[in-house]
Amino acid sequence: MRKMNNVYQSMITFYAGDPKRIQHFVKVHSFAKLIGELEGLDERTQEILEVTAYVHDIGIRIAEAKYGRCTGKLQEEEGATAVKILLAQLDYDQKLIERVSYIVGHHHSYSNIDGMDYQILVEADFLVNMYENRTPEESMISAYQKIFKTESGKDICKTMFGSK
């Protein structure tokens, strides 16, 4: 619990002065935690999921500073490296760091999702992004059909946005 709160506080500090991005990762974490628990993830996978949810967009600020923009690809590239540094400083083990880095480095890529931690992170990010971006209904329906795989994620999506 304490280590998780250290990740949380570190990301608040990282995004100091940017409440929109702080609110985003807090919401993604909340949905990811809920879906993971409802889906019955084991403790280790749940930990990986929750850490990833807090740090998944760490590459945004770095990409903006380096390139003046933050495309999904740039977020993935910059985020995968940045998260390794952050999590090593917070004393996480190498296996967790590598898995979180992999998911952060691919979280805008949906064709080769290779685990429940990755799947649930993507679903949680979609739930938040569809609301924050005011996604048109036809795009939400498409995302529901193509992206959502977990029963819990599907149920939350249908409940939030109406029957898809």
Compute the radius of gyration of the chain from its Cα atoms: 15
Question: How remote is the C-alpha of 160 from its chain's centroid?
Answer: 19
Q: Which of 94, 74, 70 is nearest to 84 (CA)?
A: 94
pTM: 0.95
Q: Could you list the pLDDT tens digit for every one of the 164 residues in the chain? A: 689 999 999 999 999 999 999 999 999 999 999 999 999 999 999 999 999 999 999 999 999 999 999 888 999 999 999 999 999 999 999 999 999 999 999 999 898 999 999 999 999 999 999 999 999 999 999 999 999 999 999 999 999 998 65
Task: Please give the domain boundaries of the chain with CATH numbers for all domains.
Answer: 2-161 (1.10.3210.10)
Residue pair 77/59 in contact (Cβ under 8 Å)? The answer is yes
**Residues 110-137: tens digit of each pLDDT:** 989 999 999 999 999 999 999 999 999 9
Do 119 and 50 form a contact (C-beta atoms < 8 A)?
Answer: no
Cβ neighbours for 147, distance < 8 A, ≥ 6 positions apart:
110, 122, 123, 126
